Structure 1
């Protein structure tokens, strides 16, 4: 008999072709995939799997709500680059992770979501806690499975991890009926993945690379738009090497921040609705726009009629469906960003003569920087983010919800390293920031993790403070508290004649007492003169911390491209 195999943590890996239950197969397969942590919440249909978790000792983090579990798994995936794994029960357990699945799908995060399901004999009868999760999630998963035969489970799990992590990453769901999880079969995990209809193109066409090299040589005003695809492919170094070889300026999308060092002389900052003046004007004036791993969403492009009107567009993306979807593309390059950048670097080519272009960009940087006004004795949110950056020396992993605080963090925290920025981009999910920080802390246990949150979004998943209490995770929660739905209030001010319909919070909980109820250190800061010292103390504190920072309530995010406007029509560029 073959000797028993062990993972590094001591868990037993069983040999091939042993008979075992479906639940045991699942846990063995997760071990084979080197899964080191699961985020989840038990319930009736998934109990056989949780019994196996108990037996094997695989690390499981008990969220206090399934939404917290899925967002934590997203944060883990975003920072580690490995697939986040979430396990929940049927019915409401499964439907409670739908938002997180949609969030992961649009932001291209590798996820494997395992949902319990009622027994196959009663599927379709409206049994207790039954929901058609396969039907519900079909539009928002890269692929999904419902297991009907226990001996198909190993193949399905292997395929799920392969699909989630190759090509354009995304969430894959496995719906596991209870009777399948208790049935027995033979475990075979050595079989190769065979998916003839799924063969992502990794290596770009060399003729398209040659066209792009020639276009760079001829360009007078080239710009690279770096998106999250650079990060997903692990191509930050390749991008830096190529940029420094060719001396091409770089704009970043919201999710692409950190793909190129924010303090580099060729960095133009974030592009889009609340991007920098220089970055947006560069996109408006460029004659060659090279998009790498960005999908040209509406918050980046503004009005498509005015987007890069003088530019030839080159688009590098591993997902061919994105190329030409929103913007007409002259040089399509289908392939992995890392491989494309490697080929471009090796091709060398003659760098363009862009002296005047760089002088113009530097002039815009000097004349139209990001700005805010210090007023009276109120704490400005922009200054708060600057202080967080100064105190962490740019070394922290920063997570956010969606809204004003998210935009201020993107503008004023300069991300010089990849995979340190965790935010909800395409779906814009409130409640994402705090649990994603928990997942990020598991991905990087030795790094400082700072959750920069709005007071509204935090209340959607605040129950996950129980995890900080239970495990003493040193996540630092910084509430940018303006007692409102800040971005909603800003839009109501600018576009709805100051009719603040249900966007203001006249009454709030005592967040410090809320933190203390979970045995978490809490501060309330209103005086800007106390902020720096309190922040330093909080960041140096060994355990979890919540800081309730009462910022200027009427502050707006600028600059801003209003709906229907182009990059050259930004508002609030200067004080």
Structure 2
């Protein structure tokens, strides 16, 4: 006989879960009791949103489901931000929510929530386990839902008395997933590409392996195919590869936008081609799309928006190693790569601290396997434009555009890969969404570099404000704390940088601090005129 908490933890151990992220709650004390000696690392976050984002980032970087425990009511509500990231990004994740006792359900008990209604549209799978003996069954169903087809978050609510009760529940062996065979799919996709005059490959989704990335480069060169990255998937192909054409994100290279608009054939490899990649569905129109081939692990993606023919229900990492290779690249890919290089090397921000120079230096200084994370805000456009990603699994960013993601993701990355360098980039507004997780980093010895870009405002909202209501700002200015002092208060070190020349030395100091298992924070002071990578505040106001 085992209590429910022990059954749950034994289930996770059988699936080689190495780490659980949580904020403690009374409703899952039995699970914490079982974790005490289970050999699973328990990371105690300071807020449930941070814990859920850490779990999501853990999954992004490992390919295995991230696991988070939160309590009911406000705890679950806080975690919703991380669940939303997992749902939008297609990341496998399990969120276990401690719930009210079964006898109290439906009586508006303390912190009670109708979780089926709350999570129904936000998660891929939602279920409540009401019987201790059925816990292995319910957990297995959630695990399979999170990892099958298009991955996503599964939420399991656990009444606290059910977790504390005992049952003679046998463990269920993990279901062994067998990757689908590529079969004739490579021939179909290759033939589709060969017929195109103006093709564009768009690579995205999660789980890109190094083998598949290398195979993508070889096939693209063989067929002279420009390869663009979907939003925040720039690490899927070495950006130095002669077929790399840039990213379809916010602040897109105008030359790449023209190439996308003029393409007569699109090959989507894991990518879903949404609002961001198409600039609001203006560059590619769902009502009049070009010919499309799509390779995607989720069968439900077929025809959801784009009429793909062929559609291959397989993960790109299973297909790409079977694609033909040899020769190339030719003039199409070379021209697209040259356009990206010109875009990456351009830009001239106002002020003594030019963010493009800091990002280029960061890109050159870091080792190829360094992991760089970020949240959301205009500051990220400089990262997208000027950083060069070299290897898969090195970019941690939310395609959902969630603020506050960079620091929790970097903490997860530092715990997964303590020997690798980890850098988080955040705006002043973005950072303060989850700045309390500095304490989590300190407690668990997560060494990382944190770069905070401070322009004294919510930059993205200010940009739209200035475009629509020039010089009539309201509600977007920020009065910020001393970020350097904040880092030191959490056992780290900090540097304030106001000009280009001071950044390299600050970066070396921050990297040394990170290697010692602490947070090295660099506070960058950005000129308020620097609104986007290509337009100043005055230019936007002037139309």
Normalised by the length of structure 2, the TM-score is: 0.91
State whether structure 2 residue 98 is matched by structure 1 residue 98.
no
- What secondary structure sits across from 1:523 in the alignment? strand
Alignment match, 1:115:
97
The 2-side partners of 1:279 and 1:54 are apart by 52
The 2-side partners of 1:185 and 1:234 are apart by 45
The 1-side partners of 2:90 and 2:246 are apart by 22
TM-superposed deviation, 1:303: 4.7
Asked if the contact 1:277–1:369 (Cα under 8 Å) also holds between the matched residues in 2, the reply is no
CA deviation digits over 1:231-254, x for unaligned, max 9? 289832332332233332210012
Alignment match, 2:301:
322
Alignment match, 2:189:
212
CA deviation digits over 1:468-520, x for unaligned, max 9? 22233211111011111111112222233232221122x21111111222121
Alignment match, 2:523:
548
The 2-side partners of 1:494 and 1:316 are apart by 38
TM-superposed deviation, 1:147: 0.5
The 2-side partners of 1:532 and 1:193 are apart by 49
- What secondary structure sits across from 1:96 in the alignment? helix
Task: Name which of 471, 492, 516 aligns with 2:444.
Answer: 471
The 2-side partners of 1:421 and 1:161 are apart by 25
Task: Name which of 385, 389, 395 aligns with 2:363.
Answer: 389
The 2-side partners of 1:264 and 1:233 are apart by 14
TM-superposed deviation, 1:43: 1.4
CA deviation digits over 1:6-49, x for unaligned, max 9? xxxxxxxxxxxxx2111110111111111111110111211121
State whether structure 2 residue 60 is matched by structure 1 residue 78.
yes
Asked if the contact 1:389–1:414 (Cα under 8 Å) also holds between the matched residues in 2, the reply is yes
Alignment match, 1:13:
none
Alignment match, 2:240:
263
TM-superposed deviation, 1:455: 0.6
Task: Name which of 500, 511, 514 aligns with 2:483.
Answer: 511
Asked if the contact 1:231–1:418 (Cα under 8 Å) also holds between the matched residues in 2, the reply is yes
Asked if the contact 2:246–2:337 (Cα under 8 Å) also holds between the matched residues in 1, the reply is no
Alignment match, 2:453:
480
The 2-side partners of 1:187 and 1:109 are apart by 29
Asked if the contact 1:230–1:293 (Cα under 8 Å) also holds between the matched residues in 2, the reply is no
Asked if the contact 1:202–1:318 (Cα under 8 Å) also holds between the matched residues in 2, the reply is no
Alignment match, 1:290:
267
Distance 1:310 1:177, change over 3 A: closer
TM-superposed deviation, 1:420: 0.8
Distance 1:477 1:161, change over 3 A: same
State whether structure 2 residue 253 is matched by structure 1 residue 276.
yes
Runs of 5+ in structure 2 lacking a partner?
Answer: none
Alignment match, 1:344:
323
Alignment match, 1:186:
168
Alignment match, 1:20:
2
Alignment match, 1:16:
none
Alignment match, 1:567:
none
Task: Name which of 115, 134, 140 aligns with 1:158.
Answer: 140
The 1-side partners of 2:505 and 2:283 are apart by 46
CA deviation digits over 1:504-555, x for unaligned, max 9? 22x2111111122212111111132211111122112223211111112221
- What secondary structure sits across from 1:460 in the alignment? coil
Distance 1:215 1:559, change over 3 A: farther
Asked if the contact 2:375–2:406 (Cα under 8 Å) also holds between the matched residues in 1, the reply is yes
State whether structure 2 residue 392 is matched by structure 1 residue 418.
yes
Task: Name which of 427, 445, 450 aligns with 2:418.
Answer: 445
CA RMSD of aligned residues (A): 2.7
Asked if the contact 2:414–2:448 (Cα under 8 Å) also holds between the matched residues in 1, the reply is yes
State whether structure 2 residue 302 is matched by structure 1 residue 335.
no
TM-superposed deviation, 1:85: 0.8
Distance 1:325 1:497, change over 3 A: farther
- What secondary structure sits across from 2:208 in the alignment? helix
Distance 1:285 1:429, change over 3 A: same
TM-superposed deviation, 1:393: 3.7
- What secondary structure sits across from 2:496 in the alignment? strand
TM-superposed deviation, 1:372: 1.8
The 2-side partners of 1:524 and 1:71 are apart by 27
Asked if the contact 1:159–1:193 (Cα under 8 Å) also holds between the matched residues in 2, the reply is no
Task: Name which of 516, 521, 531 aligns with 2:503.
Answer: 531
Alignment match, 1:253:
230
Alignment match, 2:430:
457
State whether structure 2 residue 300 is matched by structure 1 residue 357.
no
TM-superposed deviation, 1:358: 4.0
Asked if the contact 1:68–1:435 (Cα under 8 Å) also holds between the matched residues in 2, the reply is yes
TM-superposed deviation, 1:278: 3.7
TM-superposed deviation, 1:342: 3.6
- What secondary structure sits across from 1:86 in the alignment? strand
Distance 1:310 1:25, change over 3 A: closer
The 1-side partners of 2:469 and 2:208 are apart by 38
Distance 1:495 1:325, change over 3 A: farther
Task: Name which of 139, 146, 149 aligns with 1:167.
Answer: 149
Normalised by the length of structure 1, the TM-score is: 0.86
CA deviation digits over 1:362-416, x for unaligned, max 9? 564576555222645x101222211211221443211111011222112211111
CA deviation digits over 1:419-443, x for unaligned, max 9? 11111112x2111111111111122
Task: Name which of 26, 38, 51 aligns with 1:69.
Answer: 51
CA deviation digits over 1:158-202, x for unaligned, max 9? 2322222232211111111111111111232245659xxxx9994
Alignment of 1:291-310 (within 5 A): 291-304=268-281, 306-307=283-284
Alignment match, 1:521:
493
**Alignment length, in residue pairs?**
532
